Structure 1
Amino acid sequence: MTTTRTALVVGATGGVGGAIADRLLADGWLVRAINRDPETAAKRSGRTGLEWVKGDAMVEADVVAAAAGAEIVVHGANPPGYNNWAGLQLPMLNSTIAAARAAGARILFPGTVYNYGPDAFPRIDERSAQNPRSRKGAIRVRMEQALREAGVPVLILRCGDFFGPKPGNNWLSQGIVPVGRPITSVTYPGPLEIPHTWAYLPDVAQTFVRLLATDLGAFEVFQMHGHEVTGHQLVAGLEAAAGRKLKVGRLPWPALALVAPFNETLREMREMRYLWDEPVLLDDARLVRQLGAEPRTPLVEALRIALQGQGALPSLNGKRNRLALESNC
């Protein structure tokens, strides 16, 4: 007799949460997703097979109820556009911790490089000191401290900048390549010769799920190497994916500085500029020892899928572009 394993995903409409939900569904899990408006979320996500339940990630009782019987709770909640991290991130995480504690579940938590300052560069490992330079980084450090002190099993997987099959809250679709029209140009945030780390979301999801099948301790942290490429290499990958030469420009940071006081998203983006001015690379030696190899989709293939998802390839007509964008708002 087989028993279906159950997972709760908090943030299933987002990039990381959605990718992990897809991977778990493919592997036969019963996947529950919580949302304040489950009917609308189900339509926008475009995912079949999810069990949507009504609830608010900010309300502890809602998340506890949704997690009943779950073996894992995926914390993929992330305020869009960097908005109100201080007011939302820790309360939502506290709800997830309470739910995992009540269900006896393990928390899956996607880590970021925001936790680190230049003293940890260029190559970060699991022991690197976390001295962030930004407010968002300080919040992420506090979140991981809360997880360490929670007394529940935790799996943190730290990755570089996310990108995936659908447009979302990431640098590729919000800053580098325009969404909803054929790609003709690239706007790069840093010096083109400096390497940067990228994580393709289906690879992240596969890594999380593969780690669950290994022998894990109560509190585990692993890192993905991902795609470690310079700006020149990323542009070349985008050109290969698009099948055309692209114009390359630099993000106008001075112009953003003029607007940032009136726009929270731009203000928060400016704090992350230092992550583009120096190499920020992740050591995956511990992950490779655990899994044998890191899942990694070839860069051009991953970029092609990402560009298709954000309506940036000429082969997609305008109607399909609009539908793709509307389903991921």
Structure 2
Amino acid sequence: MEKQNYILILGAGGNIGGKIADRLLAQEVTVGVVGRNPENLKRFEGKAELWLGDFNDDTFLKEALRKASSLFLTVPDSAFSDLNATAARLARLLKDTPVTHIVNISNSIIKKAGQATRLVALEAELNYYLEQHMLHLRCGNFFENLNWGLHTPYAPDLKLPYVSSYEVAHVAAAHLLQQDFTGKQVQALTGNQDYSMAELAAAAGVNYRQLPYSDENVHFYKPFNEGDFEVEPRLASYTLADEQFTLAYFLKHDLKAEAMPV
């Protein structure tokens, strides 16, 4: 029998956190949703316990954690300025709470330009400071990232792992509910195949146009185009359990028109 517990979702107003909350609420699980924007949490009124506040507010976050037994963790950009301090702060706030299991969103790109990516570097700090059981979900690029635009500085034939946010939510919700991991673990969520931007654009019905680097983005795209990155290995066996997990579903239901300039 699945263990029932109070599950707290940080970043519930976002793409992944909101989908996790939806899946848990559909199973009549007791859920707390945390976010800063009341409009993003409005749809959970009457369904979940709403926690409206800032991740960086110690008093607020400690109160939100006080009765949770499972935690979905995602941190804002500001938390990456000092990973050591962020992990130490979370350990302090989690101390003496009932939280025993944490699912953390991470990145399947584990190294870039010879350095650990920031989400993977955060994993190490969390593993060191936190006493709770932790599962790091190392995710490929989300299909939703294509809504930033189908034309990018990525080389046309560069292949990277892509995954549906629905699949990530499905996996994360199950682990949070079942608490079926111990110690510090990693799970790869890299979808069923790699895609190039040329392939993704063609699937959407447009011809891919590689954009030039800018001063702002060259540090991000150039290591990929030059092959200076390392990816978490894909699981040997993979089954698409739901049509929502597929590229075809994303293209039909979630791709925004403004992402598709000719």
TM-score by structure 2 length?
0.80
- Runs (4+) off by over 6 Å: none
Counterpart of 1:33 in structure 2 is 33
Whether the 8 Å CA contact 1:114–1:140 is kept in 2: the answer is: no
Mapped to 2, the partners of 1:234 and 1:294 lie a distance apart of 18
In structure 2, how many angstroms separate the alpha carbons of the residues matched to 1:155 and 1:247? 39
Q: Give the equivalent residue in structure 1 for 2:122.
A: 143
- Find the partner of 1:224 among 168, 189, 197: 189
Paired with 1:295 and 1:159, the residues of 2 have a C-alpha distance of 17
Mapping 1:78-227, distance limit 5 Å: 78-79=76-77, 84=78, 86-87=80-81, 94-101=88-95, 102-117=97-112, 131-132=115-116, 137=117, 139-149=118-128, 150-164=130-144, 171-174=145-148, 176=149, 186-212=150-176, 213=178, 215-226=180-191, 227=193
Measured against aligned partners, the alpha-carbon deviations of 1:134-187 in whole angstroms (never above 9, x if no partner) come to xxx2x43441122111121111110111234xxxxxx4222x2xxxxxxxxx31
- 1:56 alignment counterpart: 54
How many Å separate the matches in 2 of 1:30 and 1:311? 36
Check whether the contact 1:100–1:107 (CA below 8 A) recurs between aligned residues: no
Alignment partners' CA distance in 2, 1:98 and 1:8: 17
Number of residue pairs matched by the alignment: 250
What percent of counterpart residues are identical?
19
Point out the structure with the larger helix share: 1
Structure 1 gaps of 5+ residues are 120-130, 165-170, 177-185, 240-245, 261-268, 315-329
- Separation in 2 of the partners of 1:3 and 1:222? 21
One-letter code aligned to 1:6: Y
Superposition TM-score, scaled by structure 1 size: 0.65
Give CA-to-partner distance per residue, 1:195-252, whole Å, 9 cap, x none.
111121110111223345374222111101314112232122222xxxxxx2421122
RMSD after superposition: 3.1
Sort the Cα spacing of 1:40 and 1:300 in 2 relative to 1 into closer, same or farther, 3 A. closer
| Counterpart-to-counterpart distance in 2, 1:225 and 1:302 | 16
* Unaligned residue ranges in structure 2 (runs of 5+): none
Q: 1:248 aligns with which of 208, 232, 241?
A: 208
